Structure 1
Amino acid sequence: MPITNDVRTAFRLARRLLRSRSQRRQLTRRLSAEQPLVPGSIEIAVYFADGPVNMYQVRQWYAPLAELSRTHPVAIVSRSPGTMLTLLDEAPVRSVYARQVVDLEQFVDEQAPKVVLYVNQNARNFQMMRYGRMWHVFVNHGESDKMYMTTNQFKAYDYALIAGDAARDRLDEALWDYDLDRRAIAIGRPQADHFAGEPPYPHDDRTVVLYAPTWEGDRAAAAYGSIASHGTTIAERVLASPRHRLVYRPHPRSGVRDAEYKAAHERIVAAIAAANTADPSAHHVFDDGAELGWQLADADVAITDISAMIYDRLAVGKPLIVTRPVAPEADVDERGYLAAANWLLAPDADDVVARVDAAAHDAEELAQLQHWVTRYFGDTTPGTATARFHDAIERLLARWHEVARERQGR
Structure 2
Amino acid sequence: MLALSFTVQAVGALLPSVPLLAAATATGLAADVALHRWQRSLAATLGKLHATVTVRQVVRDLLLVTGLLRIEEQHDEQRYLVLVCGLLVFYALHFACQALAIQVRRTRTLPVVTRNIDASALRLSAAPPALLMRRSGQRLLAFALPATAGLLATAATGSARWAAAGVALSVAAGVVAFVTLAVRLLPGRRPATSEQALEWFEAWLAEYQPTVGMYFSGGNSSAYQANMWLEPLARLEGRPLIVLRERFMVRKIASTDIPIVCLPKVADLMRLEHSTLKMLIHPSNSGKTSQVLRIPTIKHAFVNHGESDKLSSCNPYAKAYDEVWVAGPAARERYALADVGVDDRDIVEIGRPQLDAIQPYAGAPTGAYTTVLYAPTWEGWDGNPGNTSVVEAGENIVRALLADPAVRLLYKPHPLTGSVDPRAGAANVRIQEMIRAANVSRAAQHTDGRPAPSAAAELTRRAADLDRLTTASFRDSADDVERMLLQTAPEPGRAAAVAAASAAWEAAFWASFPVWEHQIVTGPRPTVYGCFNMADLLISDVSSVISDYLASEKPYAVTNTSGLTEQDFRAAFPTVRAGAVLTPDASGVPALLDSVRHPENDPYAEARTDLKLHLLGPSDPPSVVRFNDASRALCEAADAHRAGMAVRALPVIPSQRENDAKLNSGHLKG
Report which stretch shifted further, 317-326 or 234-243. 234-243
**Which residue is equivalent to 2:542?**
306
Matches within 5 A, 1:271-350: 271-280=434-443, 281=514, 282-290=516-524, 291-326=527-562, 334=572, 336-339=574-577, 341-347=579-585, 349-350=586-587
**1:352 maps to which residue?**
589
Q: Which residue of 1 aligns with 2:192?
A: none
Q: Report Cα offsets for 1:103-155 as digits up to 9, x if no partner.
A: 3224x156442101111121221011111111011011111111112222221
TM-score (norm 1): 0.83
Map of 2:282 onto structure 1: 118
Q: 1:64 aligns with which of 226, 229, 232?
A: 232
- Tell me the equivalent position of 2:382: 219
Is structure 2 residue 556 aligned with structure 1 residue 388? no
- The counterpart of 2:291, out of the listed 121, 127, 132, is 127
Q: Match of 2:371?
A: 208
Q: How far did 1:337 drift?
A: 3.0
Q: How far 1:365 moved relative to its partner?
A: 0.7
Rate the CA distance shift 1:94–1:239 in 2: closer, same or farther, 3 A. farther
Is the CA contact 2:232–2:354 (under 8 Å) kept in the aligned structure 1?
yes
Count of aligned residue pairs for this structure pair: 383
How far off is 1:73 after superposition? 1.9
The 5-angstrom pairing of residues 234-249 of structure 1 reads 234-249=397-412
State the distance in 1 between where 2:556 and 2:116 align: 47
Matched, 1:105 2:270: yes
Q: Is the 8 A contact 1:63 1:194 kept in 2?
A: no
1:103-182 equivalences in 2 (<5 Å):
103-106=268-271, 108-109=272-273, 111-175=275-339, 178-181=342-345
CA contact (8 A) 2:213 2:280 kept: yes
Matches of 1:124 and 1:222 in 2, distance apart? 29
- 2:92 maps to none
Would the alpha carbon gap of residues 82 and 232 (structure 1) be closer, same or farther in structure 2, given more than 3 Å must change?
farther
> How far is 1:359 from its partner?
4.3
Cα deviation per residue 1:347-366 (whole Å; 9 max; x = unaligned)? Answer: 2x144243222245244311
Q: Is the 8 A contact 2:579 2:608 kept in 1?
A: no
**Structure 1 residues 258 and 174, CA gap change in structure 2 (3 angstroms):** closer
In structure 2, C-alpha distance between the alignment counterparts of 1:51 and 1:165, rounded to whole Å: 31
Kindly tell me: are residues 208 and 28 of structure 1, through their superposed partners in 2, closer, same or farther at Cα, counting changes over 3 Å? Answer: farther
**1:45 aligns to what?**
213
* 346, 368, 392: which one aligns with 2:607: 368
Between 52-61 and 157-166, the greater mean CA deviation after superposition: 52-61
1:139 and 1:145 map into 2 onto residues whose CA distance is 16
- Aligned twin of 2:169: none
Quick check: 1:264 aligned with 2:427?
A: yes
SS in 1 for 2:417: coil
Match for 2:248: what amino acid? G
**Do the aligned residues in 1 keep the contact of 2:217 with 2:289 (CA within 8 Å)?**
yes
Q: Partner amino acid for 2:553? A: G
User: Aligned letter for 2:528?
Assistant: L
CA gap of 1:10–1:243, structure 2 versus 1, over 3 A, is closer
Identify, as 1 or 2, the structure richer in helix: 2
Counterparts of 1:203 and 1:54, CA distance in 2: 37
The verdict on how the C-alpha distance between 1:125 and 1:203 changes in structure 2, with shifts beyond 3 A counting, is farther
CA contact (8 A) 1:217 1:223 kept: no
In structure 1, stretches of 5+ residues that fail to align are 1-7, 197-201
Gap change, CA 1:273 and 1:95, over 3 Å in 2? farther
How far did 1:34 drift?
5.1
1:86 aligns with 2:252: yes
Q: In the TM superposition, what whole-angstrom CA distance separates every residue of 1:90-109 from its partner, at most 9, and x where no partner exists?
A: 34522211222233224x15
Change (3 A) 1:272 1:260: same
Q: Judge conservation of contact 2:553–2:609 (CA < 8 Å) in 1.
A: yes
User: 1:39, 1:110 within 8 Å by CA — same for their partners in 2?
Assistant: no
Rounded to whole Å, the distance in 2 between the matches of 1:323 and 1:12 is 42
Q: CA deviation at 1:371?
A: 0.9
Give 1 or 2: higher strand fraction: 1
Q: Give how far 1:58 is off.
A: 1.2
Distance 1:90 1:32, change over 3 A: closer
Q: Contact 1:63–1:92 (CA<8 Å) still a contact in 2?
A: no
Quote the Cα distance in structure 2 between the aligned partners of 1:335 and 1:240.
Answer: 30
40-49 vs 389-398, which deviates more? Answer: 40-49
SS at match of 1:322: strand
Contact 1:326/1:346 (8 A) holds in 2: no
| 1:387-410 residue CA offsets vs partner (Å, 9 max, x unmatched) | 100111011112222232333344
1:32, CA displacement in angstroms?
9.3
Q: Does 1:408 align with 2:646?
A: yes
1:343 is paired with a residue of what secondary structure? strand
Is residue 350–residue 627 contact of structure 2 (8 Å, CA) maintained in 1? yes
Letter aligned with residue 283 of structure 1: E
Inter-partner Cα distance in structure 2 for 1:159 and 1:222: 32
CA gap 1:366/1:339 in 2 versus in 1, 3 angstroms? closer
